[in-house]
Chains A and B, each alone.
Chain A
């Protein structure tokens, strides 16, 4: 199975500052035939279901603010929030959909400093 490991487990960032969350896969999620990374990022606020933010490692879902960006390839990925807003307080999860069993990272809890 693909093991997804996020770092850090929790993060406190000041409003307006940059937040960076990392995700490492135990195996490459890059599909060579189409050169796409089968990696998504989700945001989950307390009491709510997850929300898709990023897919193909770097493509923003429709309606997601452009302060959210994804990068990386192969086994190492990053979610960046360029200027933290109060409404960004949430848990964030990476997810590989390269193959079943689909797997998620353990989550990173983002708070305001």
Chain B
């Protein structure tokens, strides 16, 4: 069974840092692009970042570029998000998600999601 379990969220002051982790099981993350997607309380979904299978390509939303870093450790089957210079508007539930591909290996969307880890930025 595919599972994604996020951890590392919590309450942090503005300007602070947090490192989120996502432990994957039931599949090998080295076969997939992986992503972080966030959802502010009561709001919609916002894509945060993508990382290629071998970590050679990374893409970020403009809202987090220069502050957040996505990374992965395929040996540990884990995904990470280092968040620095946190702002109140970064308060959200952060989901780890797998980018699915079809048989031609084209991305088709996020087929598995974790339950999320809550990040609250407040003084």
Chain A residues with a Cβ under 8 A of chain B: 1, 34, 36, 38, 40, 42, 44, 48-52, 55-56, 59, 61, 93, 95, 97, 100-107
Residues of A within 8 A of B113 (CB): 49-51
Give me 11 A-to-B residue pairs in the complex whose CB atoms sit less than 8 angstroms apart, sorted by A's number.
A36-B106, A40-B110, A50-B113, A51-B113, A61-B111, A95-B109, A101-B47, A101-B59, A101-B60, A106-B44, A107-B45
> What mask results when residues 97 to 119 of chain B are scored 1 for a CB within 8 Å of chain A, else 0?
10110100011111101111000
Which of these, B46, B59, B106, contacts A34 with CB under 8 Å? B106
Which of these, B47, B95, B111, contacts A103 with CB under 8 Å? B47
Interface SS majority for chain B = strand
Chain B residues with a Cβ under 8 A of chain A: 35, 44-47, 50, 59-62, 95, 97, 99-100, 102, 106-111, 113-116
Q: How far is the CA of A1 from the CA of B62 in the complex (A)?
A: 10
How many contacting A-B pairs (Cβ < 8 A)?
64
Q: Are B44 and A52 in contact (CB under 8 A)?
A: no
Q: How far is the CA of A40 from the CA of B93 in the complex (A)?
A: 21
Q: Are A50 and B106 in contact (CB under 8 A)?
A: no
Q: Are A93 and B44 in contact (CB under 8 A)?
A: yes
Q: Which residue of B lies closest to A59 (CB)?
A: B108
Q: Are B45 and A50 in contact (CB under 8 A)?
A: yes
Residues of B within 8 A of A50 (CB): 45, 95, 110, 113
Which of these, B44, B47, B100, contacts A102 with CB under 8 Å? B47
Shortest CB distance B85–A (Å): 19
Residues of A within 8 A of B109 (CB): 40, 42, 52, 55, 95, 97
Q: Which residue of B lies closest to A101 (CB)?
A: B61
Shortest CB distance A34–B (Å): 7
